[in-house]
Amino acid sequence: MSTAVAEPKTKLNQLEQLKKFTKVVADTADFESIKDFKPQDATTNPSLVYAATQKQQYGQLIDKVLKDRKNSGLSGQAQIEDICDHLLVQFGTDILQIVPGRVSTETDARLSYNVEGSIKKARQLIKLYEERKIPRERVLIKIASTWEGLLASEQLQKEGIRCNLTLMFSLPQAVRAAEAKVQLISPFVGRIYDWYKAHEKRDYKGPEDPGVQSVTEIYTYYKKFGIPTEVMGASFRNTGQILELAGCDCLTISPELMEELSKSEEPVEQKLRPEKAKSEKVEKLQLDEKKFRWMLNDNAMAYEKTGEGIRKFAADVVKLEKYVASKL
């Protein structure tokens, strides 16, 4: 009589374990790395798209967009902006052939204090996706978490255009995003950590990391008050920060850090849980424009990092435009 031998269980790596309680999102515009790690969604921004355009394998994609838009009838800056929009949407469309979920595409950071400009740009990007037969629920439009950006996203959400509020560094920005009923927010971890590390002249690890604490505070507030907006931790400097936020609705992770997680089989513990958040003592924040602006100003880190992030993204838009202009 033969006895069946149980197959030895293969251990899951940390990335696979993380996927059990958090939606993993690729933070890249590089198709190859997205294929490798099988994330649910992907996020891009002008910096990531510009970095990808410098790689040889994406040359034909740029050439295709240029060829298609050469005779658009536009000229000068309008033509360059038109090509950049088509390029961002082309990258997004190709990424959606790989991921089963959604892609985030950024509006022009130079519109961060321009409500009408942000709305117009978002509508244009969605129109380009729909021309490529991509349904709008598979696209998130990324807008900076300024007062104006939040007003624009509130209007866009009413039109069925889903928004991802980026460059978020504080609870008031998250509370206002919840009021605007945005689909998803991207509170940054790494840039908060950078600021405190530079200002306090010390390193942070584990739950004492100020970036981790900021996302935990926002997650707790949302779950406590039953806010449906998704929380997606972003901008990580190391895998320790990611593991401290295991259980967050989504985490957007660079290919380098996804690779690191996939090489470790150490157990991953779910740190964030809705039921735990609901039992926390949290005060509801009442905000109007004056209070929002003051609270953001009063938080030196959030104020500085929001402005710096907008400037950096705007500089990358300009880099992308110069690159397109050189190709024309």
- What's the rounded Cα separation, in Å, for the pair 53 and 82? 16
**Which among 12, 36, 17, 18 is positioned nearest to 242, based on CA atoms?**
18
**Which one of 19, 121, 142, 223 is the catalytic residue?**
142
Of the candidates 111, 183, 139, which has an alpha carbon nearest to the alpha carbon of residue 42? 139
| CA neighbor of 173 nearest in space, from 188, 194, 195 | 188
Angstrom distance (rounded) from CA 217 to CA 262: 28
**How distant, in Å, are the alpha carbons of 25, 65, 93, 183, 327 from that of 61?**
23, 6, 11, 30, 13
Report residue 254: phi and psi, to 5°: -70, 155
Rounded Cα distance, 48 and 53, in Å: 9
Clarify whether 19 is annotated catalytic.
no
Judged by DSSP in three states, 101 sits in: coil
Q: CA 97, 189, 230, 107 torsion: positive or negative?
A: negative
Amino acid at 172: P
Instruction: Give the residue from 242, 248, 243, 244 showing the smallest Cα distance to 274.
Output: 248
Entry field: residues in the chain: 328
Instruction: Please tell me what DSSP assigns to residue 196.
Output: H
Best CA proximity match to 30, nearest among 301, 289, 256: 256
In contact, 189 and 195? CB cutoff 8 Å? no
Q: Give me the active site residues, please.
A: 142
